[in-house]
Structure 1
Amino acid sequence: MSNQHTQKTYTLNTGDKIPAIGLGTWQSKPNEVRVAVKDALLAGYRHIDTALAYGNEAEVGAGIKDSGVPRDQIWLTTKLDNPWHKRVAEGIDSSLKDLGTDYVDLYLVHWPSSTDPNDLSKHLPDWDFIKTWQEVQKLPATGKVRNIGVSNFGIKNLEKLLNDPTCKIVPAVNQIELHPNNPSPKLVAYNTSKGIHSTGYSCLGSTDSPLYKDPTLLKLAEKKGKTPQQVLLVWGITKGWSVIPKSVNKARIEGNFNINGWELTADEINELDNLKDRFKVCGDAWLPIKVFFGDDE
């Protein structure tokens, strides 16, 4: 049945299958993540997303162990942090050590910004994400990483990467901010045209999102007898990307996973596609270089 959203997977350009829904762990407070990961896995989630930058990989690893769910049944994604671009081999080893596992299913270059570890306000003068990717491409052969990809890459930076002669492996995934107020249709279409799967982060619009005051979304949720969050998740999955809603609240974690047995019609999808407001949860002002160019809408 097509409406079994939580059983759905997407086949990547490597042949591996990424589960359509996962648990995001960004901005989760210390000591909350371990329990959230365990709760999510016990609720049926089989996809967990973290990053070295979040500082919670050890807790994520502990939560996986606490759950008792076998490692080979879980899709685990982590990411290379900006100041580690020159130290890719060390970066993955650090993540694996903290996660307490010998491999990850997906390793992403978190941002197309090679930041100076000694001065986070500066970009490395002799290094960029092309060189980072040259190192990341070596990882699948080590067995430490099953799939490699990128995150926060817009069309401009993807073109730069894919057109470089050293790019031998097309990223399997591009993880980007995706919700009806930041739908990035051009970027999603570009990813798809290159065989790159899109994963949507901040897929619920993040904490205290203006989305939850949107009359179109609220009306649609009421009509369906679902929460706005459930509607947003089914919207994303129906659009063809994986979603990683973040929560540390057990009831919400379970509620976000309770999305089987119903669909959004083409008209309802269209309504959400055409919400007028626009906002980004995650900008690039904190980075030493610009990575978003407004060309992905």
Structure 2
Amino acid sequence: MKNSSSSCSSRKSEKQNAYHVIHKLPPGDSPYVRAKYFQLVEKDPEAAIVLFWKAINAGDRVDSALKDMAVVMKQQDRAEEAIEAIKSFRDRCSKHAQESLDNVLIDLYKKCGKLDEQIELLKQKLRMICQGEAFNGKPTKTARSHGKKFQVTVKQETSRLLGNLGWAYMQQTNYTAAEAVYRKAQKIDPDANKACNLCLCLIKQERYAEARSVLEEVLQGNLPGSGDLKSRSRCEELLNELETLKSATMEDAFIVGLDQLMKHWNHMRSKRLPIFEEIISYRDQLAC
């Protein structure tokens, strides 16, 4: 009887473990675990946010609870509230969690259109890399995207941050600063996406020949990501824009040239006008 009870308990435990694995839930029944259940299984973000708050106040996995709550708030268009939450409670989080919280803050600033704050935080993170303080002093860090883990080097992270900084400058229409940042990013870790953004910077500055030269690198497949369908599609859109701008520039040049020709013709005509008047007067006299 004892063995049967033990076997039943074991099967129940295995079933619970399988459930947690399938739904990517942490084990247990704490406020944080329940919050994740409402976030991932029930798809009830409001209930999840309430439970994440409870987890933070109870000291239950505060690092993860604060970050996850901010992400859910962003999805619910509560980005301003998420920013305040991180600023208010990040001192309860470990040193190891601060970098991840900064990354979430950058996305939140971007969502709210707080460009100055976004730029300042990106600069701060770049300064930390220069001072050797990024990744908690390690050469790589583990990142996650679409449920998959992968390693990120300091070089890749530097280029990524520079790319984000360049885009923030673009939103401020500071194309000169954006160009400088994108060029630096391309020297460190080039890719097709940043090349397209650099091309856009040059187009905004009406430097069309340089913009085309940057795009050629992507079209020729010389950059990582050149074969990506999205990158090639964007590259073609930029090329079409360049062709349109080139035609418009040629048309403008023709109109300017025509205006100058008309001014010259009018000037010459005004000089000859008295002569024409004398000829007409003489012709009229002969007619009489």
Short-chain TM bin: under 0.3
Normalization by structure 2: what TM-score? Answer: 0.26
Flag the structure with higher strand content: 1
Q: Tell me the TM-score normalized by structure 1.
A: 0.25
The structure in which a higher percent of residues are helix is 2
